[in-house]
Chain A
Amino acid sequence: MDMKKFKETALGGVLNNPVFVLVLGMCPTIGMSTNVTNALGLGLATAFVLVFSNVFISLLRRVIPDKVRLPSYIIIIATFVTLVKMFLEKFLPSLNVAIGRFIPLIVVNCIILGRAEAFASKNSVGYAALDGLSMGLGFTCSLVILGGVRMLLIMAGFEVFKTAAGGFITLGLLMALFNYLLGIYRNSRKAKLLLNGGDAL
């Protein structure tokens, strides 16, 4: 296994974080992050669909004709979403009441189709599964962080953070913070590389 590619794929969830960097899948992020439980539930449901759709699309990548690839991907994704929906209805009815509205919408979550098109359709099964896991967990973590911040603010008495407006503003501020930290990280790496001779740049 190529070590560099492995590391890059595994770190994809952080360095190419779906929410904060790629800005994909915003709707469930804002809609379902009023508390940590909902955020975790929806994040894990999305991660499950992402891993399995990535694996199946990667397995079928030589079978699916190029012209009908998008409809085929959507059907694969919709199948797994339906499975998640059935699972929640049967085993976690209370969570289903809270996040059920957003479960069918996982089908049109741009992260999943985006990873299918950009990664799973071009890579082997192992990497596709790893990418799905990394991206899925990256998405879940962002949702939980956002949910945690909003929950604290709501508990502190800022009722506005319960509404969509609060979601938009919290996410905007967190994204700016993430950009700021990522900027510092990139600058420090650049400085380190320059100290070591600078050829690697």
Chain B
Amino acid sequence: MSIASIITIVISAILTDNIVLSKTLGICPLLGTSKKTDSAVGMGLAVTFVITVSSVVCYGLFKLLDFWNITYLQTIVFILVIASLVQLLDIVLKRFSPTLYNSLGIYLALITTNCTVLGSANMVIDYGYNLLETFVFGFFTGIGFTMVLILMSGIREKLNRTHIPKPFAGFPIALIIAGILAMAFGGFTGFAF
């Protein structure tokens, strides 16, 4: 455990091993909620919160499952943790911050089926991180997700004003943009074409 390993985690979670563009998780919200920058920011921040907390909680629970030797329950336990966390967030936001609650709307409930959340909870276990690394990884994975969502929404807002051939309208053009973005992010890793 050192500062260097933390910095490596931060940089790889945001840039070189971005959860959306390199690990291909969270593509549904990328396509669904990146039409406007406002909703992209809200969605990104809500997801960041859920990823961070659920990674840490799932890490703790996995240690318990491991202790009792019932790790095959991993998937079921993790998804329950995530679903209840999202429900909790829903209740807390409704009570304390109705404005944010209204602006997030339906996206809040959809975080449960966002595969970035379950994906990063599983990755933390696979990579064998400790508690601090888990927290940092969860938080910066969320930041990486938010950043890609904002980048995409900016491009798509501009795209609204251009003429797109009919078969490409909607999802196909968004996927191709995501592909080009992924190539740009690939530059951070420096892979050879």
Main secondary structure of the interface of B (DSSP, over half): helix
Interface readout for B141-167 with A: 1 if CB under 8 Å, 0 if not?
Answer: 000000000000000000000000111
Contact A108 B176 (CB under 8 A): no
Contact B79 A165 (CB under 8 A): no
Residues in A neighbouring B166, C-beta threshold 8 A: 179, 183
Contact A164 B25 (CB under 8 A): no
Residues in B neighbouring A160, C-beta threshold 8 A: 183, 193
A108–B122 CA distance with the chains assembled, in angstroms: 13
CB contact under 8 A between A27 and B24, given known A163-B182, A173-B176: yes
A136–B72 CA distance with the chains assembled, in angstroms: 25
Interface readout for A105-130 with B: 1 if CB under 8 Å, 0 if not?
Answer: 10111100100000000000000000
Find A31's partner among B25, B78, B112, B118 (CB 8 Å cutoff): B25
Interface residues on B, range: 35 or more
A187–B131 CA distance with the chains assembled, in angstroms: 58
Q: Is A71 an interface residue (CB 8 A)?
A: yes
Q: Is A104 an interface residue (CB 8 A)?
A: yes
Binds B, one of A1-9, A73-81, A189-197: A73-81
Contact A164 B83 (CB under 8 A): no
Residues in B neighbouring A74, C-beta threshold 8 A: 79-80, 83, 112
Chain A contributes a number of interface residues (CB within 8 A of B) equal to 43
Residues in B neighbouring A26, C-beta threshold 8 A: 27-28, 31
Q: Is B172 an interface residue (CB 8 A)?
A: yes
Q: Is B192 an interface residue (CB 8 A)?
A: yes
Contact A167 B24 (CB under 8 A): yes
CB-CB contacts below 8 Å: B105-145 with A: 112-115, 117-119, 122, 126
CB contact under 8 A between A159 and B175, given known A26-B31, A75-B76: no
Between A and B, 20 residue pairs with Cβ closer than 8 Å are: A24-B28, A26-B28, A26-B31, A27-B26, A30-B24, A74-B80, A81-B75, A86-B72, A108-B112, A108-B118, A110-B113, A159-B193, A163-B183, A163-B191, A165-B179, A166-B179, A167-B179, A169-B179, A172-B173, A179-B168
> Interface on B for A, CB 8 Å cutoff?
21-28, 31, 72-76, 78-80, 83, 112-115, 117-119, 122, 126, 165-168, 171-176, 178-180, 182-183, 186, 191-193
